[in-house]
Amino acid sequence: MAILTVHRFPDPVLKQRAKPVTTFDKTLKKLSDDMLETMYLEGGIGLAAVQVADLRRLVVMDLKNGEEKNGKPAPHEPRVLVNPEILQAKGEIVTEEGCLSVTDFRAEVKRAERVEVAYQTLTGESKREWMEEIGAVCIQHEIDHLNGKLFIDHLPLLKREMVKKRLIKMQRADQEALRDDVRIAKRGEPQRKAKA
């Protein structure tokens, strides 16, 4: 398995729509394995292929990631959903969401509390199931990625624009700090200490 690069806002790949999977082969299985490994490393509970710059309609999830049981990490419960789509949505729930592609920011987002999802397995078998609460929120969030949408796109317009500007400014500051560290390293000087 390999760790993949999770693309961060404002990378344009995040605005692209994924295409349906039509070939169910070893490369699809490898992609899902790599995505799960990457998601676990990043500490997320869901990851869409678009976030790793692969434009196939593929989502991995593990709602137990990060949970503890008896003081130990809970066993993994990985899920792979190919070509997922929401057939029905019921109720409303407001939860605080974060995203592996939108670092250092969380916001309350309103979504359906229960959703019926149709999807395929890695072998192409068709399935349908109802998901609720955090499972429903997660699959809606990941399907948004497959459609070129981020959770911040659900925010009111004024707040969304303020957040996007702040995130871009933070990204530029991080890039400038990295360039400074590279220049210092090339000169052989000690690197700056990280801010606490």
Contact residues for 173 (Cβ-Cβ < 8 A; gap 6+) = none
Looking at residue 18, what DSSP letter applies? P
Give the pair of three-digit tokens for residue 68: 């503890």
Query: Cβ–Cβ contacts within 10 Å for residue 5, how many?
Result: 10
Kindly report the backbone phi and psi dihedral angles of residue 89, in degrees, each rounded to the nearest multiple of 5, phi listed first. Answer: -135, 140
Tokens of 45: 């509970």
Q: Which residues are catalytic?
A: 142
Closest C-alpha among 23, 61, 4, 9 to residue 168: 9
Please tell me the total number of residues recorded for the chain in this structure.
196
Pair 57, 139: CB distance under 8 Å: no
- What is the Cα–Cα distance from 78 to 66, expressed in whole angstroms? 13
